[in-house]
Chain A
């Protein structure tokens, strides 16, 4: 369990948050630039000191301003990945990786060199000079360097923001492996919905120095009372388990959590039981009164209408649906809403035009 209470103000900006975050998995701090997410991360790392603050990671207190406790950053068991890889140019790649490693007592090391280099795919770069590497390679080394301090908490400040799309896509799979293979809680600052949807288990939405929401990703993305729902990207993340694979049509059947409902998606073969994360955009979900319909649309789920709000323009509305416990969002025209007579509690069929596989 990660507890953070921070109060801090500069001219024109105030941060005031009180968060309880899960002690495992990836928590995304999501918000626009200037929302305070990086400041929040820097305070947790001790690189900045909030005038009033309480920070506790599991059973370790890193700051308690009431008791005048402030543990300096070099005594906090954390790993920090900066937006720019910030490798030491006077050291080789290997020496960069060893910089943190050799400052950790041997008995506290839980991540070794072989594991970290294999995890990030950088074994072939060890004897190179950091200046001769691509941005993506540098960032992977930055991540491995942070991991090698065997942190109890990994802080990542927009690690992909300085990279182009190609480099991003090169690193994302490594981050997903990190998430799947290491038992280190991660706080991940981002302003990219795509990264958040792919990586995060828990989402904190920050705006103007305040936390608007904090909750499980599937639930939080589907909340209509948050500005997230208004964007063009609005949608939900579904983490399902593979229940079947149709090799002939190359379709994967994904069972939604805790239900018999499933969706099918074009994908390479996967073994049964594996977890798979997908994003369903609100604009790709349409509603109909009848379920049995001749259509090219693959996925049709029985849903209950929970609530609705106006979208960012007057022609559309956003409907929140419940598919046997899994939240869904549908963005439909106001005209269709009236034609179908959509109202809370109504049983409908949601037709999903597209499912984006994220992992």
Chain B
């Protein structure tokens, strides 16, 4: 067999991280996207910009600030220590926090576009048909924005799988805890184990292509993007 148990463990950790991150992002990204698509507040610009920051910042920059914030002297670090949780740096929980921030725009933006495309009319119609706001969210917004949710989940998952810089900065390289596939490939290359690196890198390439292929082929209507 060509993949070592360390490789399998890295794959398992990566899938776990990406799944958890996607679920968390769908939960917190949905209200943010809904708010961004509806609000007239001046905060819309700043919040939108903050959400989009990971698109342009080098992952090392995000990782660096997270390292400071989560570390023993950072404000999140103080908080977690006061709760008796210790610090989150170099832990799986820290990776989840980093991944959520890092993949945020890939979830929020497709959702925001989907919500904007719905417009206000269906919501007004629902209200005049006696649906309260929660009812309207689940019976009108979610079904109409379904392509947006699918796109958001796929992009959020795939982007987290492809994460490297942030992980290295805040998670280090601890087997079974923070060593994800991208880091494992890096280790193989550092150790001149090119054959091992090939297998993992090839698997990532095939996975990423398959995900994007599924995404772009399934989009018969342009509703998900526009």
Interface set of A (CB-CB < 8 Å, partner B): 45-47, 72-75, 78-80, 82, 84, 86, 88-90, 99-100, 103-104, 145-146, 149
Contacts and interface: CB of A to CB of B under 8 A. Distances in A.
B144 A103 contact: no
Contact of A73 (B127, B135, B143, B146): B127
Interface of B: 121-122, 124-133, 135-136, 139-140, 143-144, 146
A78 B129 CA distance: 8
B132 A74 contact: yes
Nearest to A104: B130
Interface centre among A75, A86, A104 (most CB of B within 10 A): A86
Contacts of A45: 128
B131 A74 contact: yes
Contacts of A90: 140, 143-144, 146
5 contacts: A72-B132, A73-B124, A78-B128, A103-B131, A146-B128
A143 to B, nearest CB: 12
A99 B132 CA distance: 12
Contacts of A84: 121
A149 B125 CA distance: 12
Contacts of B129: 74, 99-100, 103, 145-146, 149
A99 B146 CA distance: 19
Nearest to A89: B144
B40 to A, nearest CB: 13
Contacts of A80: 124-125, 128
A86 B121 contact: yes
A332 B210 CA distance: 80
B127 A72 contact: yes
Contacts, number: 60
A82 B130 contact: no
B125 A82 contact: yes
A79 B124 CA distance: 12
A131 to B, nearest CB: 11
B130 A74 contact: yes
Contacts of B135: 74, 103
B221 to A, nearest CB: 11
B150 to A, nearest CB: 14
Contacts of B128: 45, 47, 73-74, 78-80, 100, 146, 149
Contacts of B121: 82, 84, 86
The 5 closest A-B pairs by CB, nearest first: A100-B129, A80-B128, A103-B130, A73-B127, A90-B143
Nearest to A77: B130
Interface centre among B129, B135, B136, B144 (most CB of A within 10 A): B129
Nearest to B144: A90
Nearest to B130: A103
Contacts of B124: 47, 73, 80, 82
Contacts of B146: 90
Contacts of A99: 126, 129, 131, 139
Contacts of A46: 127
Nearest to A145: B129
Contacts of A149: 128-130
B132 to A, nearest CB: 5
